[in-house]
Each structure stands twice: as structure tokens, then as C-alpha cells.
Structure 1
Amino acid sequence: MRTRLAAAGLVAVGVLLMANPLYLPVPVGEPSPAYTHTAQPVGDGSPVAGVDAPDGESETADGVVDYADLDPAARDAFDRALDAEGGFGVEDPDARVDSLSYPTDPSLGDGLLVVEHEGERYEFWTRTVEREPGAVVAQRIAVQPVAFLAGFFAVTAAAALGVRQRSNRSPK
């Protein structure tokens, strides 16, 4: 009887620990925003590959922006994003460029510009990214996998107890 109770307890604890993605991570603070800037050449599969500048206009909401028409701070951000592989980010809202928008879901003209610079066209992305607090990241990286493995071992131990009890009862 004790073995059955122990096996049932191990299964219950194991299932609860293995189901930890349903209740972890526990939010422990507000996400902090970061403002990212990336620039890359326009490629064939790009969402802006077919965008053209209208005749007689240097900048439109849905066209190509000439590098010289960018605000000096926006030019600096573009240059920095182009030089840094993968772009760069800032966390201080005051460090953002006032002439650029930072939506969470960029679209052409709002967080995504096509910039023509030195005969090349570049996608210039600016967006707001919500970063999770460090404790939540630690839960995802350490607590969740460890809890899942502990649950798996508890269920395995319960199965081993069941097999052991059955083999003790069987006639030899």
C-alpha cells in the first residue's frame, strides 16, 4: 500500500513539474523597452524590393528616401546601424532620434524606410522591443528546464516503483 501511495505521489509531483510551462515564468516586473536600429541592403526577398521613388519627389511615406534628405541625427543612426552587424539598440527614450518612429510592428514609412545611399538601397528599421526582466529570463533558462527534468525523473521513479512492486508479488 505504501509503495502505491508513493508511486501516485511521485506521478502527481512529476506531472505538476513537467507542466511548468503552463504556470512559469512568473512575471516579476514590467518589461523594459529597448529601441533598435538596423540597416541592411534591400534584397530580392525583401518586403520593400519593388519600392521606387516617385518622379520629382525626394521623400515619401511609401517611397525611397535619399540619404542626404535624412535629418543629421537620423543619418548618424543609419550610419551606426550600417556599421554595426545586427544594428544597435538604446534603452533610454531620450537617446532615440526624434525624426524617426519606433513602432512595435514596423511597416513601410512607419519604422521602415528605404534609404538610397551611394547608389545602393537599404532597409532602415527602427522599432521598439519589449525586454523581459532578468528574473523572468532566468526562470525560462534555468528553472523551467530543471523543473521539467525533475518531473520526468519523478514519473520515471514512480514507474520503477510500480515495476518493482509487481516483480516482488509475482510468483518465482
Structure 2
Amino acid sequence: MRTPLAVAGLVALGVCLMANPLFLPVSIGEPDPAYTHTVRPVGEGAVAGIGSPAAGAANGSGGDAVVAYADLDPAARAAFDRARDAPEGGFGVEDPDERVDSLSYPAEPTLGDGLLIVERDGERYELWTRTVEREPDAVVVQHVLVQPIAFLAGFLAVVAGAAVALRGRLGGE
């Protein structure tokens, strides 16, 4: 009588532990936002409806969608220069006070809202600004450590339950 109870308990425990993605991660705290600034040259293809300088002038979309570097406010120019000179093509800040007031930081940038085409010295660049919501550290730890360990423990509990059941059958209990 104890063997079937032990088998059922081990299998139930194992299934619960293996199903941990259903109940983990437990949201702890608010998301941690970061504000990114990225600059890259406008490529050959159209970006958000803007192509090369000649194509922009030909289809009429170049005049109002492109911002001259000199027309950016000083803080936006400083952010543009810093992002363009960064090795990765951009930088991020975590403090909301470090954002540039004249730039918007949407989660999904669109032309004019988080995406500007800036013309500087005859070259056109895409200036992307956006808000990236990162998960709190406790949730990351759950994803990286707790969930895999719980799944492995659950798998081993199911295997142990199967071993106890086989031992009970083979041992004649």
C-alpha cells in the first residue's frame, strides 16, 4: 500500500515541478525601463518611407520628414553625436532625467515618433529613440536558475516514481 502512494506522490510532485513555467515567474516589482538612442546611416532601401536624398526629393517625402542637424536642439545634437560615435552605434540611459526633452521615447518607434531622419553634412542618418522595458532582476533569476532547476527536479521525481513502481512490481511487494 505504501508503494502506490509513494509512486503517486513522486509523480504528482514531478509533474508540478515540471509545470513550473505555468506558475513562474512571479512578477516582483515594476519593469525596469531603459531609454536607448541609436544612430545609423540610412541604407539604400527606403526606411519608413524615406529613401536616398534623390528619392526623397522626387517623391516629395524628403522635405518634411528629414530634419537638418542644425535644427535639432543642443541636447538632441549631443545625444545624436554620442550615439553616432558610440562603438555599438548607440547608448542607453536608465534615469528618466537623462532623456532628451525634445525627443520622444515610445516602445514602438515610428517616423516622427521615436524615429527621425537627420541630415548632417549631406549624409542622412536614422536617429532611433525608444523605451525598453527590462524585467526585474528577481524575474531574470527565476528564468535562469529556478525554472531549470525545478524542471530537472521534477523530471528526476517522475523517474524516481517510475523506479519505485518498477521495483515494487519486480520485488513482489
The reply on whether 1:150 has 2:160 as its aligned counterpart is: no
C-alpha distance 5-146 of structure 1, shift in aligned 2 (>3 A): same
CA contact (8 A) 2:49 2:61 kept: no
AA matched with 1:81: A
Between the aligned residues of both structures, percent identity stands at 68
Distance 2:16 2:163 in 1: 19
Deviation, 1:94, is 1.4
CA contact (8 A) 1:59 1:69 kept: no
Q: Which structure 2 residue ranges, 5 or more long, are not aligned?
A: none
> What does the per-residue CA deviation read over 1:29-56, in whole Å, with 9 as the maximum and x for residues that have no partner?
1122221111122235664364426899
For residues 48-87 of structure 1, what are the structure 2 equivalents within 5 Å?
48=48, 50-51=50-51, 52=56, 60=64, 63-84=65-86, 85-87=88-90
Distance 2:25 2:61 in 1: 51
Matched residue of 1:158: which SS?
A: helix
> What does the per-residue CA deviation read over 1:76-105, in whole Å, with 9 as the maximum and x for residues that have no partner?
111111222052111221111111001111
Q: What TM-score does the superposition give when structure 1 sets the normalisation length?
A: 0.85
The residue number in structure 1 matching 2:8 is 8
CA contact (8 A) 2:35 2:93 kept: yes
CA contact (8 A) 1:115 1:123 kept: yes
Q: Which structure 1 residue ranges, 5 or more long, are not aligned?
A: none
Q: Flag the structure with higher helix content.
A: 2
The residue number in structure 2 matching 1:40 is 40
Instruction: Judge which range, 104-113 or 122-131, deviates more.
Output: 122-131
Q: What TM-score does the superposition give when structure 2 sets the normalisation length?
A: 0.84
Distance 2:22 2:94 in 1: 30
1:134 to 137, 140, 143: 137
Q: What's the C-alpha RMSD, in Å, of the aligned pairs?
A: 2.6
